[in-house]
Amino acid sequence: MFQLFNRVVPSIFFAFFCLVILPLNLSAAETGEYIAIRKEGSGNIALVLDKLDANGTKESRFAQSLDTIMYDGLDFTKLFALISPPLNVRDYSDKKNVVINFGALTSVGAEVYAGGSLTRKSGMINLDMKVYDASGSKLLLSKTYTGREEGLRSIGHAFCADLVELLTGKKSVFGSKIVFVSNKNGFKEVYECDFDGYGVQQLTNAKSIAMNPAISPDGRSLAYISFAPGRPTLYIRDLAGGTIASVGKSGVSIDPGWRNNSEVAATLSLDGNQAIYLVKTDGSLSKRVTNNKSIDISPAFSPDGTRMAFVSSRNGLPQIFIQDIQSGLVKRLTFSGRYNTQPSWSPLGDKIAYTTWEKNGEINIFVINTDGSGLLQLTQNNGENKSPSWSPDGEMIVYTSNRQGKEKMYVMSSKGGNERLLLQGDDLQTQPSWSLFR
Amino acid sequence: MKKNSIIVLALMVTAGCSSKSAVTPDQVTPDQVTTNQATPLAVPSLPSGYGFDQWQTGPLGDAFFEFDSSTLSTEAQEQLKQNGIWLESNALKKALVEGHCDERGTSEYNLALGDRRATSVKEFLVRYGVAPSRLETVSFGEERPFAAGHNEESWSKNRRAHFVQK
């Protein structure tokens, strides 16, 4: 019996293994190998990002801009230790073939080398990039990125995205957006900006109070709360088509969170009780999720949409709970801290970020595993830190802090550290939410 | 002492304070007070934060709350009874009850808490006999504070259900 078991299981496993592995092409398999090596060494990836080669005045100017865009982009992720390229890194003695001097790279401690050239043809930019494993002198990536001259940022970031995905095996932040509330025009309106604070755009102009914007996983819909009709009301806007659905004929609507591309959950006090409902993008109600006499707010879903973290006052002061959507079973997640709110479920599914209002008056951001273990404090001694939201790769968290006076957006590593201001300005910035799409 | 204050408030309400109430704290004269042998009502720093202030301009007085609570205190209930009497004798009038919170904590929770404050006020008045259709509720959470300070004196003023006559 045992022998049979021993014989059958490995062969099933092997069959499964083949199914998973065989469809992948060679370069992806090599990439997997590289990622495996990296995980053991952990820490930042020692990268030499070389200056781009370019011929011609205009080309050189574009190349310089792209150098900066790519450097700043990769630096923003804090995944890399960016090493200045050694002087003799490229050998031009053979005019047809530029030779990389891997010896020079390893002597400065580089693990990875990225370099390339820029050419221009009828208003289009071609960026040819090559990435090498510096120690093994193995080519990891060779790809051409093409785009219009005005789109240098997206050309450069497309390469950055590929590089991060190649080296970490995870989605990057490049191309993702952050929606937030600002009082720039004297009212609270919804704005969006790129992941790095670049390119701020105003999305609402209701001259009222807007709250808690959240973009659907596919980036097509924006849910937010607006006081424009006189009461806080849930709006769901189709960002491409511009159509808007509103929800809730009575009571208030609070803090929407997307379950998937077609369903958003929010608190609606339709019968006087603050309960969480699932709402379709056309504004119709699909399901009541919580049914408790207390306050239930701030739904945040697991990536597969089967579980929902939320805030409830069912035990007195607000704490975070997790509810299984299908069974309705509820489990309390937070036991440390008397006032825990604003849960945000990590895109990898394993952690939840939230805020604790502490006895000393500070509000701080914590991360906890979904099983309640591994509690980690991310901010301290810096006033009120609120509204954490994960980057799509799970590496960073955007939040607000009043550490320099006015409440403003900051980003930090999701393991803590590297806290920095995201967006300058005199405005008040609140309730940021990082999109999953890119 | 507080009860006396409430009686003074009640007298003033029933005596028909018109839309621009004259009963702002600094306008309470010593004479008014001595008639009831009580200390001045609605002194800004009254510990419970309860009482009239410049933001109550109609015939309906506001109800004040403790931190993170939507429970109606005895004082709040007394005020609401007076509001109930006025609503009874002004049967065509409607009111909007706005729930407000102080700035502490997080804004989503405060929006819910403000909704509970407004709702518990409405429920009290409905039990008192006011038709539910005459009372609308809304929450502003911490979005529209009355007092601008960042201390308990201001916070106590901002934890309220505010009446707006419709």
Residues on chain A touching B109 (C-beta within 8 angstroms): 295, 297-298, 311, 313, 318, 341
Looking at residue B24, its pLDDT comes to 38
Residue of chain A minimizing CA distance to B123: A272
d(CA A266, CA A289): 10
| Mean pLDDT (chain A, rounded) | 90
Q: How many CB pairs under 8 A join A and B?
A: 69
pLDDT more than 90, % of chain B: 64
Give the pLDDT score at A243: 84
To the question of pTM greater than 0.90 for the whole model, the response is no
Q: Mean per-residue pLDDT for A94-104?
A: 82
Query: Residue A98: which pLDDT band, with cuts at 50, 70 and 90?
Result: confident
- Token pair for residue B12? 């003033």
pLDDT in tens, A143-193: 999 999 999 999 999 999 999 999 988 889 999 999 999 999 999 999 999
ipTM for the assembly: 0.87
Interstrand relation of A99-100 and A124-133 (parallel, antiparallel or unpaired): unpaired
**A91 band by pLDDT with thresholds 50, 70 and 90:** confident
Show residues of chain A in contact with B141, CB under 8 Å: 232
Q: Which residues of A touch B104 (CB under 8 A)?
A: 357
pLDDT in tens, A255-299: 999 999 999 999 999 998 999 999 999 999 999 999 999 999 999
Q: Nearest CB to B108: which of A230, A269, A342?
A: A342
Best B71, B110, B115, B133 member to test A by mutation, with max A CBs in 10 Å, is B115
What is the average pLDDT score of chain B? 78
The shortest C-alpha distance from A19 to chain B (Å) reads 47
Model confidence at B59, pLDDT cuts 50, 70, 90, reads confident
Nearest alpha carbon to residue A356 among A343, A372, A369: A343
Q: Which two tokens stand for residue B2?
A: 């507080």
Residue for token digits 């992941």?
A: A195
Q: Which residue of B has its CA nearest to A256?
A: B108
Phi, psi (rounded to 5 degrees) for A323: -115, 135
Q: What share of chain A is helix, strand, coil (3-state, %, to 5)?
A: 20, 40, 40
Å between B161 CA and nearest CA of chain A? 15
**Residue range A362-373: average pLDDT?**
98
**Alpha-carbon gap: A177 to the closest alpha carbon of chain B (Å):** 22
The pLDDT tens digits for B5-30 are: 444 444 444 333 333 333 333 443 33
Contacts of A100 (CB under 8 A, 6+ apart): A89, A90, A91, A113, A115, A132, A137
Q: Contact at 8 Å (CB) between B70 and B76?
A: no
**Whole-angstrom Cα distance, residue A429 to residue B77?**
38
Q: Closest Cα to residue A361, out of A392, A383, A345, A387?
A: A383
pLDDT for residue A261 = 96
Task: Kindly state which CATH superfamily the domain B2-165 is placed in.
Answer: OmpA-like domain (3.30.1330.60)
Instruction: Map out the domains of chain A with their CATH numbers.
Output: 43-168 (3.40.50.10070), 177-434 (2.120.10.30)
